[in-house]
Amino acid sequence: MTQAKTDPRVLRTRKLIMDSFIKLSGEKEFKSITIKDITSEAMINRATFYYHFEDIYDLLEKVLSEVLLVNLNYDFYQNSELNEKTFVSIFKAITNFQKSLSNRCHRDYEDTIARIIREQLEIIFYKMLFKQNKAKEDKTLKITAVILSWGIYGASIEWRRNSKASPEEFIKLVIPSVMYGISR
């Protein structure tokens, strides 16, 4: 089964379904999009859709995760250290992702988007922290990754709602406190 999922034809079909969904989400609200709409747009049958995705919510989650990973340039972060440059870069990627979604997504996406952003950030932060702190207890690194992911996500929401500053200016104000503690 794993080999079938990496077959180029399977990957192309999966991408076709995802691209069709993205196109439709630019035209109508999520709650109005049906499996029939997606299969018609992608010119596939229902069975093909269900081979790739459990349901429309599974598709939504996969599309958002992949779009976010592209924005985050996941490969870059796997080889980077957690420093000011990576914090700024991650924050910019998150704010760009949210801006791009706000043009075509509505309130029905909000909880899913928030969860996906936090989960992806947690994975990235954990890997970076682990690489830099192999001697530290795993549980400590995981909790730190959770706190950083929620913090960066929360800061991106605050920036979107209230800030006139650029994402870089906004996040650079707090990086010293995040990196070196409040008392410095």
- Render 58-92 in DSSP notation, one character per residue: HHHHHHHHHHHHHHHTHHHHHT--SSHHHHHHHHH
pTM of the model: 0.75
In this structure, are 100 and 22 located in the same domain?
no
Nearest to 65 by CA among 11, 14, 121: 121
Over residues 64-87, the pLDDT tens digits come to 888 787 777 766 776 678 888 888
In this structure, are 99 and 83 located in the same domain?
yes
In this structure, are 117 and 95 located in the same domain?
yes
Q: How confident is the model at residue 1 (pLDDT cuts 50, 70, 90)?
A: very low
In this structure, are 130 and 70 located in the same domain?
yes
Asked whether 128 and 80 are in contact (CB, 8 A), the reply is yes
In this structure, are 176 and 89 located in the same domain?
yes
Give the span between the Cα atoms of 184 and 176, in whole angstroms. Answer: 8
What are the tokens at 71?
A: 């924005």
Report how many domains make up the chain. Answer: 2
Q: Compute how many other C-beta atoms are within 10 angstroms of the C-beta atom of residue 124.
A: 25
- Find the domain containing 19 and state its range: 2-53
Q: How confident is the model at residue 46 (pLDDT cuts 50, 70, 90)?
A: very high
3-state secondary structure at position 165: coil
